[in-house]
Structure 1
Amino acid sequence: MAGLIWFKQDLRLFDNQAVSQAWNNQDTLHAVIFETEQTWEEHDWAPIKRDLYERRVNALGQELAELGVVLEVISVKEYAECAGKLVKICKQQNIESVYFNREMPVHEKQRDKAVASWCQQHNISTHIFDNVIAVAPEKVKTGQGTYFKKFTPFYRAWKKLLAESLPESPSSLSAKAEPLSFQKVSLKGKKNSSNSWSTDTKDILKHVDAFTHDVVNHYHTGRDAPSERSTSLFSPWFEIGAIGVNTVIRKLMESSPNFPDGLNQGQETWLSELAWRDFYQHLMWHVPRLSYGKAFIQETDAFNWENDEKKFAAWCSGNTGYPIVDAGMRQLNETGWMHNRLRMITASFLVKDLLIDWRWGEKYFMQNLIDGSFPANNGGWQWSASTGTDAVPYFRVFNPERQSERFDPNGDFIRSWVKELKDVPKKYIHRPEEYLKNKQSDYPRPIVDHKTQREKFLTQFKSIKNG
C-alpha cells in the first residue's frame, strides 16, 4: 500500500503523529509540501520566518531522503489549490491514504476540510491528527459543553486532559527504501537570514534537553527580564513545527510521576505558557471572526483610533523617546524576535499611549517576527488592547517608565539596543530627556505624554463599555 504525508507547519519526523501513523501502516510513502506564496504573503509571513521555513524544509527533505522517501515541494498560489493538486498526486502515484495534522485558523481549517472532502470524493482515505496543539479543541469544554472564554478554568481543564491526549512516545523510523538524494529547494519571496536559529533536529533537541532539565526550574524568576537568557526560545521552532508541543510536555512529565501535579514553580509557570498557546489556538477554532480582523469583544471595534502615521513610524523604528519601548522595537527589527515582556510593553504603548489601532501593530509584528504565529500574535495584541477574551482590563495601562524600572532596573537591555543611551547613568536611563537636555544626542524626546494619553484612552474606552 502507498500513503502520502502532507507537511505544513509541522516540519519534523520526530514525535509527529501523522508521520508515525503513516510509517507504521504504509509500505511505500511519499511526502509533499505546498508552497502557497500568495497566501503566505496575505498572511504577512516575515522574510526571516520564510527563510527559517525554507531551511527546515531542506533539512526535512534530507532526513526523508536518507530513509528512502521523496519530499516533493509544489508551488501553488493559494490554499484553494491544495486539494486538487493533492488528489492529482495521489492518482498519479496510486496513493490510497493521506496523513496530515490539522490547523486551527479559519483559512487553514477551510483548506484542510476541502482536502478531506476531495479525497473522499476520489476514494482516498484521510487520517487527520492534532499534533500542532497538545489537546484538541473539541475536548476542552465547560460544564455546559461550550468552549472556555477565560484562561484559568481552561488551564485547569486542559491540564487534566494532557496525559490522555499525548500520543505514544515516538519510536525511531526504519528506512522505507534505499537512501535517495535530495535537491535543495529555494522558496519564492523575500527572505532575511535566520541563521541564528538551527534547523538541525539533533541540535534542536539538545536545546530542548538543556532548557527542560535546567533553565525551566528558574523560569518563574527570570522570564520577565529581557536582559537574561531565561526563556526557552522555542517559539520559532514551534511555529514551523521543527519541534512539537508534545515533545516538551513529555520532558516535564519525566520530572514528576504525578504529572501534571508535582511540578516545581518554574515548570508549572512554563506549562501555563504552553497552555496559553493552546488557548489562543482553540479560540481561532471556535471563533472564526478572529481570523478576519475582528475584536473578540465586538463593541470595542467602535473605538475611534487616532492612527497617526508619523507616531506609528516612530514606534516601528524604535524612536518614541521611551527607552524600553525603543529597545524592544529595535530588537525586533534587528533579530526578528522580541522578548515576551517587551511584546506586552510595546503593544500597550502603541494602543493605549499612541491610540493606534491594535491591528496595525499586529500586522507589523507578523511582518517581522521569526515566530509569527497568527493565533498567539492575535491573542497577545487583543490581550494588550483589552479587546480580547480574558484580556487585561482596559483601565490597566502599562506605564513604560515603571515597566522599565521593574524589568530592566539597571538599564542593561536598553543600553544594548539603544546605542544613543549607552553612556546614560542608571539614575536617568528610564527617563533620559533631562540628562540629555544640554548634551548633543540623536535620541528623541518622548513623542507623547503618558499621563495625558492614558486619560484619553480611558475616557473613550469607558464610554464604549458603558455604551
Structure 2
Amino acid sequence: MLWFRNDLRTHDNPALHYFLNTSCGSSSDSPRKAIFFISEKQWLAHDWSLIKIDFIKRHAAALVDELANLNIELSLVEVDTFDDQVNYLTQYCQAHNVDTVFANSELEFNEHQRDLNCIKQGVPLMLYEADVIVPKGLVLNQSGSMFKVFTPFKNAWLKQVRTAGFDYLGKITRADDKETLADNKVKSVNNIIKSDGLSGTWPLAKEYEANVFSTFLQTKLTGYEQCRDIPSIKGTSGISPYLAAGVISPRYVLIALLNRCPDLLLATDSPEFSWLNELIWREFYRNLMFHEQKLCKHYCFKEQYQLITWHNNQTMFTAWCEGKTGYPLVDAAMRQLNQTGWMHNRLRMVVASFLTKHLLIDWRLGEKYFMQHLIDGDLASNNGGWQWAASTGCDAQPYFRIFNPIRQSERFDPNGEFIRKYLPELSSIPDKQIHFPHKYMEQNNISGYVKPIVDHKEARLKALAFYK
C-alpha cells in the first residue's frame, strides 16, 4: 500500500518508485491501493492557510487521474486528526493483510510522532526521503554536528553534491501492459474533493513546470539577481508553493537548473547561482529543523532570547496585520499577503523586521500569521526566516541591524509602483514623497492614509535597548 502525504506527485517520488518496484499488495492485473488523508482539522491546528489547503486539494484531485494511468487506485479519506490517521491505517492493514506501507518521511515533530505511533500499532511502515536534495543529516561540520552558519553549510553542501551527486528518480509513466482503472471508479473518488477556488490563480504543478518554470529558466534566470528584490515586477520563479506542498521535487528543480546551466555548481559567482542559493537556504533550514526539533515547538534557537518579555501591543499587532502601520511599504506588503496569499521575499524581511524590531512583538505571532495566510507556508522556512529577522535564530542578522522601512522602500520600490498597487489611497502622491507621505499630505491637505503608529528613530533606539 502507498501512503501519500506532503508529496502529491509522480515525479521523483521515492515511495511511489519503490512501491511500483515490488510485488506487494496486488496481482499484476488488479489495481494497487494508495491513500491520502484529508485532515483539515489537523491542518488548521498547524495553522495551514485556507489557500494552501485548497491548493493541496486540487493537486490531490489531479493525482487521482494520474495514478489511474499507473493502475493505482488513490482513495481520498477524510479524517480529522493524526490519531485518526493512525487508527484508520491500523484497521485497514489488519483487515487487508497489508505487509508494507510505503511513504515518504515528513520533517515536523507531530508528523514524526504520528509515524512512530503507526509503527507501535503494527503498521508496517517503510519510509523514504523526498523533501530535500541531499539527505538530511549528511552535511555536517568537522565535529559531526550541524552547521550553525549558512555559508559553511552551503560550501559543504556544494562539495557533497559535486563529489557524490544526488539521487533523482525521474518521472514514472504507465507501462503499456498495465490496464487503467475504470472511469467511473476515478470519478467516484474524485467527487470527494471540492475546491473552493481560493488557489485558482496558481496553476497545477504540471502546468507550472511546462509553462511558468520553463519560461523563468529561459528568460528570467540570468536577471534574477538584479530583479529578485523589486516587488513591482515578476522577477522570481514563484516555485515556493509547489515546493512547500511537495507537488514538485527539489531534485527535479536542480536537474532542470543544471540542464540549463551545467557548470552552475562551480560557478558560484554567476548571476544564476543566486537562485540556486535560495534552494540551498531551504536545505539549510530543513536540516536545522531535523537536528533541532525544538524549533517545531516555537523555541528560540538562541536560548538566551527564550525568556524575552515582548511588548505584544494588540492594537499595534492588529495594525500590522491589516496593513495600517503608516509605513507604506510595510502596509502594501501586508495587504498583498491578505489579498493574494503570497508575499514577495524582500518584503517578508521588511515586515518581519518591523514587527519584531519596531513594535517589539513576539516573532511567533508573526510566524503564525504568515502560516495562516501564505499559500507557500512551510514550517522550516517560515520559522527560519522569522527567527532570522528577530535575531533569535541560527545565522540570524545581529539584533542591532534594523531595517529602515522608508529606506527599503526608496531602494526597492523607488517609483512607488508596488505601493500604489496595494495602497490606492496614495495613488496621487509623487514618487519622492510616497515612501513616507505624511508631511506632504499634511501640507497639501490630503487625507485617507493612516498616521505612523511609531516613529522610526525612536523605535530603533528602543529596540537596541530592549535586545541589549
Normalising by structure 1, we get a TM-score of 0.92
Q: What amino acid is aligned across from residue 69 of structure 1 in structure 2?
A: I
Counterpart among 33, 37, 47 of residue 36 in structure 2: 33
CA–CA distance in structure 2, aligned partners of residues 349 and 64 of structure 1: 46
- 1:228-250 deviation line (CA, Å, top 9, x unaligned): 11111011111111211111100
Aligned to 2:332: 327
Shift of 1:203: 4.2
Q: Are 1:447 and 2:447 counterparts?
A: no
Alignment of structure 1 residues 383-398 onto 2, 5 Å: 383-398=388-403
2:47 paired residue number: 44
Query: Who is 1:111 aligned against?
Result: 114
- Decide whether the 8 Å contact of 1:155 with 1:275 is kept in 2: yes
Q: 8 Å contact 1:218–1:266 — kept in the other structure?
A: yes
- Rounded to whole Å, the distance in 2 between the matches of 1:15 and 1:419 is 44
1:141-152 maps to which residues of 2 (within 5 A)? 141-152=140-151
Q: Does 1:62 align with 2:59?
A: no
| Corresponding position: 1:460 with 2:462 | no
- C-alpha contact (below 8 Å) 1:321/1:446 kept by paired residues: yes
* Distance 1:269-1:436 versus aligned 2 partners, 3 A rule: same
> Residues 145-199 of structure 1: CA distance to partner in whole angstroms, max 9, x if unpaired?
11111111111111222362222433433264323332325569x9661101012
Q: 1:72 offset after TM fit, Å?
A: 1.0
Q: Any gaps of 5 or more consecutive residues in structure 2?
A: none
Tell me the secondary structure at the aligned position of residue 99 of structure 1: strand
C-alpha contact (below 8 Å) 2:264/2:273 kept by paired residues: no
The residue matched to 1:250 in structure 2 has which SS? helix
Q: Give the Å deviation of 1:47.
A: 0.8
Tell me if 1:19 matches 2:22: no
Distance 1:22 1:348, change over 3 A: same
- Change in CA separation of 1:258 and 1:168 when aligned onto 2, cut-off 3 Å: farther
1: CA distance, partners of 2:340 / 2:40: 23
Structure 1 position 200, deviation (Å): 5.2
- Is the 8 Å Cα contact of residues 150 and 389 (structure 1) preserved in structure 2? yes
Q: Judging changes above 3 Å, is the alpha-carbon distance between structure 1 residues 187 and 257 closer, same or farther for their aligned structure 2 residues?
A: closer
Query: How far did residue 132 of structure 1 move?
Result: 1.1
Letter in 2 for 1:23: L
| 8 Å contact from structure 2 (residues 329, 435) kept in 1 | yes
Deviates more, 1:65-74 or 1:393-402: 65-74
Equivalent pair of 2:47/2:371 in contact (CA under 8 Å):
yes
Which residue in 2 is equivalent to 1:5?
A: 2
1:350 matched to 2:352? The reply is no
Corresponding residue for 2:408? 403
In structure 2, the partner of 1:360 is: 365
Partner Cα distance (2:261, 2:345) in 1: 27
Please list, as runs of the form range in 1=range in 2, the aligned pairs for 1:284-433 lying within 5 A after superposition: 284-433=289-438
CA change 1:187–1:148 in 2 (3 A) is farther
Mapped partners of 2:315, 2:197: distance in 1? 26
**Structure 1 CA distance for aligned equivalents of residues 396 and 58 of structure 2:** 36
Match of 2:102 in 1: 99
CA offsets per residue over residues 304-339 of structure 1, 9 Å max, x none?
211111111111110111000000000000000000
Q: Residue 174 of structure 2 corresponds to which residue in structure 1?
A: 173
> Quick one: distance in 2 between partners of 1:111 and 1:267?
40
Amino acid at match of 2:456: H
Deviation at 1:127, TM superposition (A): 3.2
Q: Deviations over 1:419-452 (max 9, x none)?
A: 1011110110101001111424210111100111
* Separation of aligned partners in 1, 2:359 and 2:308: 13
Q: Answer whether contact 2:61 2:193 (CA < 8 A) is retained.
A: no
2:78 maps to amino acid: S
Amino acid at match of 1:142: N
In structure 1, C-alpha distance between the alignment counterparts of 2:213 and 2:260, rounded to whole Å: 14
Deviates more, 1:401-410 or 1:61-70: 61-70
Q: 1:353 to 1:21 in 2, by over 3 A?
A: same
In 1: Cα distance, 2:451 partner to 2:380 partner = 35
The RMSD of aligned alpha carbons is: 2.0
CA–CA distance in 1 between the matches of 2:264 and 2:404? 38
Any idea what SS the aligned residue of 2:21 has?
Answer: helix
Partner of 2:81: 78
Per-residue Cα deviation, 1:358-397 (whole angstroms, up to 9, x for no partner): 1111111111101111111111100000000100110000
* CA distance in 2 between partners of 1:166 and 1:159 (Å): 15
Matches of 1:404 and 1:11, distance apart in 2: 38
Q: Which runs of 5+ in 1 are unaligned?
A: 463-467
Equivalent pair of 2:12/2:252 in contact (CA under 8 Å): yes
C-alpha separation between the residues in 1 aligned to 2:197 and 2:260? 38
1:223 to 222, 228, 238: 228
Worse-superposed segment, 161-170 or 359-368: 161-170
Task: Return structure 1 stretches of 4+ with deviation > 6 angstroms.
Answer: none
Q: Which residue of 1 aligns with 2:91?
A: 88
- Report the secondary structure of 1:265's partner residue: coil
Quick check: 109-118 or 29-38, which moved more?
109-118
Contact 1:35 1:187 in 2 (8 A): no
**1:279 pairs with 2:280:** no
Would the aligned equivalents of 1:253 and 1:259 in 2 still touch at CA under 8 Å? yes
The answer as to whether partners of 1:216 and 1:267 remain within 8 angstroms in 2 is: yes
Work out the CA distance in 2 between the residues paired with 1:399 and 1:110: 42
Q: Which residue of 2 aligns with 1:156?
A: 155
SS of the counterpart of 2:98? coil
Q: Which amino acid aligns with 1:237?
A: Y
Contact 1:311 1:447 in 2 (8 A): yes
Inter-CA distance 383–192: structure 2 relative to 1 (3 Å threshold): farther
Cα gap change, 1:140 to 1:67, in 2 (>3 Å): same
TM-score by length of 2: 0.92
Distance 1:153 1:203 in 2: 33
